[in-house]
Amino acid sequence: MTSVLHTWGRSLFQHVHLHCLVPGGALADDGTWLSARGSYLFPVRALSRHFRGRFISALRNAAKAGEFTSLDPGAVSALLDTLMGEEWVVFAKPCLEHTESVIGYVARYTHRVAISNARIPGLDDDQVSLSDRDYLDGQHKTLTLDAPEFLRRFLLHVLPKGLMRVRHYGLLANRCRVQRLAHIRKVLTAPEPEREPEAEQDHEPEPGWPCPVCRRGRMRPVRRISPRRAALGCAPYR
């Protein structure tokens, strides 16, 4: 599978969860492909409870190893007992259509930060305004935060050094992905994907600057303007 870490909600609170793309089958030891039975790979409720058990077991082992030195052991044990009594939310569904849209949705989280400039309609020396949406009534609203609180929430989503946002597992792991996928396509009698021709090494990039809107076109100078005209908003590029 491929997993993408997502840590924020629209109000910048810490909301840690994973988006995962999981193949609908597995590669057996003898090299054959085993497709999932039924509509999906496994029951969602079984996945939820298995994940809960493994996660809390890892936390208990960490507590026994003394990794939570600043916490009371009794409080940690009581909290983990409470969490074991809760139903954990795991959402999974098959994706047989609109695969490009699903992959595009997950891809948007791979290199984005917690908030974009477009969601900051206003700011001053002391406060920052954020465009927000209330999930209870679906209405778009404006959230105003003090500058220190905005920075605190934003820094919650700066990953520690060495922690990877995107990870690949199993047959999609980096060290075996090329060979495994080629073998699976052969087993499934699927054609190899078309590869784009590699650019020549001596090809010089097109002059100009990338377009800040589409990121594909190139901007080139058409004329020079005076500083006074530039102050009036006359753009020197197109």
Least Cα distance to 35 among 46, 43, 23, 45 occurs for 23
Please, where are the H alpha helices in 89-231? 99-107, 147-155, 177-187, 227-231
Domain count, the chain: 2
What pLDDT is attached to residue 96? 67
Q: Is residue 13 part of a domain?
A: no
Q: Is residue 174 part of a domain?
A: no
The backbone torsions φ and ψ at residue 74, rounded to the nearest 5 degrees and listed phi first, read -65, -40
Banded pLDDT at 3 (limits 50, 70, 90): very high
pLDDT tier for residue 119 given thresholds of 50, 70 and 90: confident
Residue 217: inside a domain: yes
How many Cβ atoms sit within 10 Å of the Cβ of residue 179? 10
178 falls within a domain? no
Q: Which residue in the block uniquely carries the two structure tokens 């969860």?
A: 17
Is pLDDT at 40 greater than 90 in this prediction? no
Kindly report the backbone phi and psi dihedral angles of residue 17, in degrees, each rounded to the nearest multiple of 5, phi listed first. -160, 170
Structure tokens given for 83: 């969490």
* 96 occurs within a structural domain: no
171: in domain: no
Question: What does each C-alpha distance from 116 to 121, 134, 142, 208 come to in angstroms?
Answer: 11, 18, 15, 26
Is a pLDDT exceeding 60 seen at residue 205? Answer: no
Specify if 146 maps to a domain. yes
Is 214 part of any domain?
yes
Query: Is residue 5's pLDDT more than 60?
Result: yes
Provide the domain limits for residue 123. 116-155
Single-letter amino acid code for the residue at 173 = A
Alpha carbon distance 191, 193 (integer Å):
6
Q: Is the dihedral of CA 100, 106, 109, 111 positive or negative?
A: negative
More confident residue, 127 or 10: 127
Whole-model pTM: value is 0.62
CA pair distance 24, 34, nearest whole angstrom: 9
